[in-house]
Amino acid sequence: MVFSSLLFLYIFFPLCMLLYFLRGSIQWRNGVLIVMSLLFYAWGEPLYILLILATALLNHHLAIQIEQSGKNKKKRRLAFLAVALNLGFLGFFKYTGFFVETLNLIPWIKLPVPDIAMPIGISFYTFQILSYVIDVYRGQGRAQRDFMRTLLFLTLFHQLMAGPIIRYEHVAAELAERRTSARQVWAGIERFAAGLAKKALLANTCGELADQLLNPEAFGSLSVLGAWLGILLFALQIYFDFSAYSDMAIAMGKMVGLHYHENFDYPYLSGSVTEFWRRWHMSLGSFFRDYVYIPLGGNRRHPLRNLLLVWALTGLWHGASWNFVVWGLYYFVFIAFEKHVLARLKRKPPAALMHIYTLLAVVFGWVLFYYTNIAEAFGLFGKLFGITAVSAVTPEAALTLQNNVFFLILALIACLPVTKLLRLLEYRLSMRGKWESRGVFALKYALVLLLLLLSTAQLAGNSFNPFIYFRF
């Protein structure tokens, strides 16, 4: 089940909210969220609900033992056990097949590759529970004694499948006590409608067009224009797709009084690759910074080694395939270059030039991300640079661009902080007087309704509705 499915939009989520507000006690409301979250997870993989329950139970008790342990040696052993178990689960389900395939590259080894179905969202909830246990070990957070709150923290369906990765300390107080106002619920509905439209109207359209152009079977007739158009559409799709999920997760949390941190900050406005990664999937970047980079020594000891390890792990986290490792190392090169070369220049390059350089670096990076087969990725590079393209422009590519030029302009505008400008305009109008304020609310109500109707129509009439990050 995905947020952009009609089943979720018109049955699951309304039912959840109805049950949630049926009674006002925190125990009832937490219980509703737990039951609905487990149902949401079990919808796709009922067997793996046992895994997430076991993960919650193990880490709940280990965190309590870590906090109660007075001896540093015992504390370290328990923390090591927690990390080993969590990464062991992740490694077994996500990387066993990849490890065997890699071994099979050795000429004299031919092992059967196991077909292990990966639990949805395991990369996200593993990092989430790891951050909780490590924070308890460091003394930066208290162990939760109520198992139901630990279970709720780990299984919340809002962000279980694709983030943002939340820290326990960010929501600990709200899991115990929270209030929800009509204003909060309405603000959540507004953001959910915007996120749904971003997914249904923008991401899905970009993705369908990108897949038509970037399909390796179509390489024989792909022009330079077609290659550039395809990878640009994928760059837009992955941003709209993932940020839309985060928008909807944050919105649903807001409706029930839970405040998750932002996960995207208009990354395509960045003036460097380093800045791009401060704005893109911010919860993942902060996890690797706080739990890998800084503990290894950060900038103080072996900064290049630490950076290399972080980006190799970042790539591997995204998928059990060598293209993701190469993708991670690709970003290591750019960020190391910016950190150790560009940052030391007395005269900085012009901002416009840096922005163009950043966009090109990111777009080329998406080529490595899109194709799990490295040979296909380099095949597209050949098309982009005109080395193996059939021509600069083909009638098919020109027609695709012509038919979608207005959509592309709209999609590019949507990458800008339009919502911030609209909120500022709303504030200024509402401050003029009572009637202006009522007019602004009526317009917002109509816009939300329009976005929901357009999104529903698009989802009902189109079967193309993937969530890219579900596979991670």
Task: Identify which has the larger pLDDT, 274 or 116.
Answer: 274
C-alpha distances in angstroms, 222 versus 211, 219, 330, 385, 401?
A: 13, 5, 25, 12, 14
Give dist(CA 405, CA 458) in Å, integer: 19
| Residue 172 one-letter amino acid | A
Q: What average pLDDT does the chain have?
A: 90
Instruction: Look at residue 466 and tell me whether its pLDDT is greater than 80.
Output: no
Examine the residue annotation and report whether 355 is marked as an active-site residue of this protein.
no
What is the reported pLDDT for 436? 62
Record the tokens describing residue 345, joined without a space: 């220049």
Give dist(CA 298, CA 307) in Å, integer: 8
Please give the average per-residue pLDDT across 36-41, as a whole number.
93
Record the tokens describing residue 234, joined without a space: 């994928």
Which pTM was predicted? Answer: 0.92
Cβ distance 345 to 300 under 8 Å?
no
What is the reported pLDDT for 192? 95
Please give the average per-residue pLDDT across 285-296, as a whole number.
93
> Binning pLDDT at 50, 70 and 90, where does residue 129 land?
very high
What is the reported pLDDT for 369? 94
Q: Where are the alpha helices (DSSP H) in 45-71?
A: 49-68
Cβ distance 251 to 230 under 8 Å?
no
What is the reported pLDDT for 471? 60
Catalytic pick from 259, 261, 318, 340? 318
C-alpha distances in angstroms, 50 versus 166, 177, 417?
A: 22, 28, 42
Residue 431 falls in which region: left (phi positive, over 0), alpha (psi -120 to 50) or beta: alpha
In which element (H, E) is residue 408 found?
helix 395-414
Instruction: Look at residue 428 and tell me whether its pLDDT is greater than 80.
Output: no
Burial class (CB in 10 A: 0-12, 13-18, 19+), 44: middle
What is the reported pLDDT for 363? 96
Instruction: Look at residue 432 and tell me whether its pLDDT is greater than 80.
Output: no
Give dist(CA 431, CA 177) in Å, integer: 33
